[in-house]
Amino acid sequence: MTASKSSGNVRKLAVEILVRVDIDKAYADILLDQVLHRGSLSDKDRSLLTEIVYGTLRWRGRIDFFLKQLTRRSFEETDPYIKNLLRITLYQISFLDRIPEFAAVNEAVALAKMHAGSRVSGFVNGILRNFIRTNRTATAPDPGSCRVAALAEYWSHPEWLIDNWIEYLSCSDITPLLAANNHQAPLVLRVNAVRTDREALLRAFKTEGIEALPTNWSPQGIVLHSQVPIDRLRCYQEGLFQVQAEASQLVTYLLDPHPGEKILDACAAPGGKTTHIAELMHDEGQVTATDRSLKGIVKINENAIRLGLKSIRTMHADITKVAAAEESTYDRILVDAPCSGLGTLRSHPEIKWNRGIADVARLCDLQRRILTQAANCLKPEGILVYSTCTLTALENENVVDEFLARHGNLVLEDAASYLPNQAKQLVKGKYFMALPHRHDTDGFFAARLRKVA
């Protein structure tokens, strides 16, 4: 395959992925993994495909602002393939210095012609050359500004979300948070404490020429700075670690599991927290992991086997419909609730375009129902931890406050008392809260509740 054919294929694949993200509301990382696992791309092309897909999603708001100015007809009514072809090309021209403008335009025109013929390729050519000729750039708003439209255009976030964050956080948080969301999340691992420790795993990585450092907040976390295929590493195959984001690791410390206990992970897939619970229990006791997704249950079982954990049992079930036999059964319960995921935009930039306030409201109802059922499954004096990877008051404090108002036998405990010493500052009042711009983690929230009767 020649260089031009190779790069053209990468751009074609990028457009196809972004079309599915648009139309099917699919997750970009899953689609990318499917393409990359075919093994037909060189390392250079794999890197370029990943850069184009994620970069275009991160900066789509700013890119679309320019495209709407350049198209006479409604940009929203443009064919999805052509729309995303224009997006990836503007991303390359505006953000990637190593790709010559003429090459990006020529390949876009060729793909447009292949997809829809000469008339459409002429349209694409005109739009792109007009963009280059007019040398359009975005003007950064004042860092202390709360002008939502200007922030949305420059930092490439939807206006409804910025409005929500101004109310939830503070005006001074907004620009740093939006900027942080447009950076790539670090790849973080959790050491399998049943088989090794962090210092030993760091030494093993060093021996293999892999650059890695301990995380700031989690005592079991490691940040990988080398780009390596994780599943091909010997340490991975030997079950010495699990891929898990740092803030997610900290939630398990709030649960504070003890050996010999009976614990429920109510929304468990893909099993990062499930396996962490088992490790902190020294693999002694029983961890029941439930999830509505059969694929998710399969993934939990695969991880448990690879990590050598025997205390985990899985149950393919909807937690809101568990049998009465499960009531007052568990010492501790983790509800890592389905949520809007707006704290994970560094890893999943498509979420900001595929979610709206209606989705948040729908999820709040589900979160309340899950919490109510989980509380029924908890023993007296048991611990219930509610967590989300989102940053909305509706899904976080409001859900907990409403739940406590309706369940007088549960009380809120201070999260800082259970976090590792180095992470005790990651709180908002009695709640655990991690923020991308302050802590270089995903945005995470959690509450620790005790059943007093």
Just list the catalytic residues: 389
Tokens of 370: 């899950």
Q: Using CA atoms, how far apart are residues 291 and 314, in angstroms rounded to an integer?
A: 8
The sign of the CA dihedral 242, 222, 177, 181 is: negative
Token output for 37: 């696992």
Q: In whole angstroms, what is the distance from residue 233 CA to residue 245 CA?
A: 18
CB within 8 A of 215, min separation 6: which ones?
188, 221, 222, 223, 246, 249
What does the block give as tokens for 380?
């007296």
Q: How far is CA 14 from CA 8, 92, 195, in A?
A: 10, 12, 40
Helix axes 101-116, 80-95, angle to 10 degrees: 170
Asked if residue 61 lies in contact with residue 158, where contact means CB atoms within 8 angstroms, the answer is: yes
Cα–chain center distance at 88: 22
Q: What is the distance between the alpha carbons of residues 20 and 10, in angstroms, rounded to a whole number?
A: 16
The residues with which 313 forms a beta bridge, in sequence order, are 288
DSSP β-ladder status, 410-413 and 444-451: antiparallel
The DSSP annotation for 385-448 comes to EEEES---TTTTHHHHHHHHHH-TTEEEE-GGGTS-GGGTT-EETTEEEE-HHHHSS--EEEEE
Residue with token string 């997610």: 248
Distance CA 238, CA 206 (A): 17
Instruction: Provide the 10 A C-beta neighbour count for residue 211.
Output: 12
Residue holding tokens 């614990």? 263
Q: Six-digit token pair at 389?
A: 């990877």
- 299 touches 271 (CB < 8 A): yes
